[in-house]
Structures are given as C-alpha cells and as structure tokens.
C-alpha cells in the first residue's frame, strides 16, 4: 500500500503487510544467509531497527536442509525471529557457481560448493524449498546473468527463460499466507528491461523484483535500467525490490527512481574489513590515524557501538584480530543503514524530500562529499563485481571435493 508519493521524483513511501508484521518502505533488509546475520542475534537486529531480513534458499537447502528447518517449525521458530522474512529463490547463488553449474529449460544442475554433491534446482524445487522454510515472502526462480559482461543474445535467452520459470513458479506455489514475488530481468538493455517488467507485471505476483543488477554494471548503467523498469511499471502499486544493492548513496538514487526494498551483504562484509559507514561517507578503522581517536565511530549514530566505544578501541580490536571488532562494526553499519532509510521515509512522508535531498546525499557520502581523512575515501564507488562467480573462482572446493565436482560435470 502506497502511503505517500514524492512530487519531485518517483520516490514513494508505503506499507508492506505480511504475516509477521508490517514493513514500512522504502527499507533495507539485512542479509541472514544461513538463518543468521553474521555475529548478531535477533534481539540485536530488532534494536537496530531491522523490520525484515533475508535468508538464502540455496544455502539453507544445502545446510541444514529445508526439511530439518520445517521440522523445527520453519525459519521463524528455527532462528527465533518473529518479524518478516524474505527468502531469495537460490537462482543467483546457483548461477554464481560458474563452472560447477549447468542450466537448461528444466532448471539448473549444480555441484555443491560444500562437498561436490550434485543437485537440480527447478522452479518447482525452489518453491518447494521456500514453502518448507516458511518465510513471509518467497521469490520465483530466475536466471540472472552478468549485466555488463553478457551479450544481448545471452541476456534475451535468460530473460525469456526467467519468464517461463515465473509461470512455473506461480503454478507450483500453494502455501497460504505466503507472498510470492516475481523477477524482472533484462540486463542493462533498457528495451529488454521494459519488456521484462511489462511481462512480469502481467502475472499475479505480490511484488516485483528488479534482478540481475548490483553486479558489474556502472551506476549510470544501473540507473538507466532502473528507469526503464519503473517506467514500464508506472501505475503498478506492488512493492518493487532491487536485489543485492547495499550502499547508502546507491539506495538513495534507486529510491528516487521508485524502488521500495533492498538487500545486500555489503554493510556486514565491509565491516569485517574495518570499514565503517558514517555520516558523510566511510572510515577505514584499520587506518593508523584512528588508534588515538577518542570519539565514537559516528557522533550522530545512536547504536550501542557508538554509545559505548571509541574509534581507538575498534582500531585496536581490528589489529588484534579480535572477533568483537567486526561484531561491533556490523552493529554500527546496519544501524547506520536502518537510520538512513528511516530518514528517507520521513522525508517522503512529510513532503520535504526535495528540500532535504542535498543533505541526504551528503550524509550518504555521494560524489562531491569532502574527504573524512586520508585513506578513508568516503566518496569512492563501492566495489563492483558482486555477481562474479564466487564459489568456484574462490577455490572453495578443494582436493577430493573438487575432483568429484569436476568429474560430475564432465559426465553431463
């Protein structure tokens, strides 16, 4: 339900009513890949302002298994989180397996990155797994491709297959009270983006995802793709969810273009590397200049990390390689994201977004923001390539596991 529409942009505020609560949009979802947001417990997530979290179908299917989670009463009971949950379809993770995966019309056959065992994900299987996990929102199975690194022919084939799989996902879905979102693809081609959005909006999904972005495209290419998609969705009041986008400046630009919901591992991932997102950009707490700074990570932040600890203490923890370092910084980064999105929502609801936009862009650390200090690079573009194959390229299959996976692939 749309509750407010900005007059100077496509930004909008709304309410997403789900079985475990109401999500005020626009909003950012922390990612709990393995039914946990790394190092944090559910009560801490609530204190940070998290309204909804994402869990990963592919990972939970492999470990501990969706049947086991179902026996424990579903994800909410299993992880003791009583607010809404969204599960992705597993399509992105399967495709990101690269040489460990083969795809055809039936589905995607892949070797587990854990032990090399063979599995087949189809739209029906993905929906079966998600229904067993029991989130508030399930997502149709799709075939994403690298936005910039794919030809128009590859993008077209993947998009058409995603459309056929969307229909199969709808037919397979039968869990009462569980929403199902469809995914519009099309790479960075505006015409294909518009075509895909037009097709997906014609189907009875409860929400529409913008898939296949937040990868190897430039921000300019991404914004063009978003504009083409949202134009094709004009007048459609269903929630729009851009998958995988996670930096404050990128989220703000997407909200201005009419996107409502986001997720990314980025805030937690950069925290583990010592990067703190703060008002005006970011700090690298591995930088030696922070070793003697008594001030909090961000004086404008109300998180428990900023209320209690100094930059010097966190800088020390990172150098000592203490686990508490990335736990404290994950708390801060996720609270920063939640508070920032709350400010954006309030500005839309009050009709002051246009007037507050310069301040919000500066707070997000957008282009032109003054540097916070040498080595911190607050205005730098976030690292690209999030959609690159991770498991095979990273060498996560080793020894006998890798040999089994390769041998299984060779038999196909």
Catalytic residue list: 88, 263
DSSP label at residue 215:
S
DSSP label at residue 99:
G
Tokens linked to 11: 């930004």
The span from the CA of 405 to the CA of 107, in Å, is 18
Dihedral (CA of 309, 313, 314, 320) sign: negative
C-beta separation of 181 from 207 below 8 A: yes
Tokens linked to 382: 């976030």
**Cα distance from N-terminal residue to C-terminal residue, the chain:** 47
The span from the CA of 358 to the CA of 367, in Å, is 11
**CA nearest neighbour of 393 among 149, 119, 98:** 98
Around Cβ 355, how many Cβ atoms within 10 Å? 11
**CB within 8 Å of 50: residues ≥ 6 apart:** 29, 30, 37, 83, 334, 338
Residue showing tokens 């959005």: 197
Residue showing tokens 């929400």: 207
**CB within 8 Å of 73: residues ≥ 6 apart:** 134
**CA nearest neighbour of 216 among 267, 297, 149, 262:** 149
The span from the CA of 7 to the CA of 201, in Å, is 24
Helix (H) or strand (E) holding 407: helix 399-411
Around Cβ 178, how many Cβ atoms within 10 Å? 20
**CB within 8 Å of 401: residues ≥ 6 apart:** 114, 115, 116
């Amino acid at each position: 339900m749309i509750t407010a529409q900005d007059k100077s942009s496509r930004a909008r505020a709304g309410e997403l009513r789900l079985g475990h609560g109401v999500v005020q949009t626009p909003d950012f979802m922390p990612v709990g890949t393995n039914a946990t947001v790394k190092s944090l417990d559910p009560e801490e997530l609530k204190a940070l302002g998290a309204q909804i979290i994402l869990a990963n179908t592919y990972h939970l299917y492999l470990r501990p298994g969706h049947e086991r989670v179902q026996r424990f009463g579903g994800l909410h009971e299993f992880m003791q989180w009583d607010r809404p949950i969204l599960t992705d379809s597993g399509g992105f993770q399967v495709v990101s397996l690269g040489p460990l995966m083969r795809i055809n019309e039936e589905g995607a056959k892949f070797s587990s990155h854990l032990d090399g065992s063979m599995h087949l994900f189809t739209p029906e299987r993905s929906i079966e797994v998600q229904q067993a996990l029991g989130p508030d929102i399930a997502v149709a199975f799709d075939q994403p491709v690298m936005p910039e690194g794919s030809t128009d022919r590859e993008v077209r084939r993947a998009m058409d297959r995603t459309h056929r799989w969307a229909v199969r996902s709808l037919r397979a879905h039968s869990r009462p009270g569980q929403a199902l979102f469809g995914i519009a693809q099309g790479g960075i081609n505006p015409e294909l983006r518009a075509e895909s959005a037009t097709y997906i909006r014609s189907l009875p999904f409860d929400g529409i995802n913008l898939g296949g972005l937040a990868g190897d495209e430039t921000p300019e290419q991404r914004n063009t793709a978003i504009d083409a998609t949202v134009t094709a969705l004009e007048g459609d009041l269903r929630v729009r969810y851009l998958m995988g986008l996670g930096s404050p400046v990128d989220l703000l630009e997407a909200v201005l273009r009419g996107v409502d919901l986001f997720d990314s591992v980025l805030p937690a991932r950069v925290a583990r590397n010592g990067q703190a997102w703060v008002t005006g950009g970011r700090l690298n707490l591995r930088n030696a200049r922070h070793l003697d700074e008594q001030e909090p990570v961000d004086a404008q932040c109300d998180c428990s990390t900023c209320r209690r600890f100094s930059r010097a203490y966190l800088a020390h923890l990172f150098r000592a390689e203490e686990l508490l370092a990335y736990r404290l910084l994950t708390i801060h980064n996720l609270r920063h994201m939640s508070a920032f999105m709350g400010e954006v929502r309030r500005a839309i609801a009050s009709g002051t977004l246009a007037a507050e936009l310069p301040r919000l862009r500066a707070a997000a650390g957008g282009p032109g923001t003054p540097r916070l200090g040498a080595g911190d690079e607050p205005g730098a573009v976030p690292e690209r390539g999030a959609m690159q194959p991770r498991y095979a390229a990273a060498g996560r299959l080793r020894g006998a596991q890798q040999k089994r996976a390769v041998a299984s692939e060779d038999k196909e």
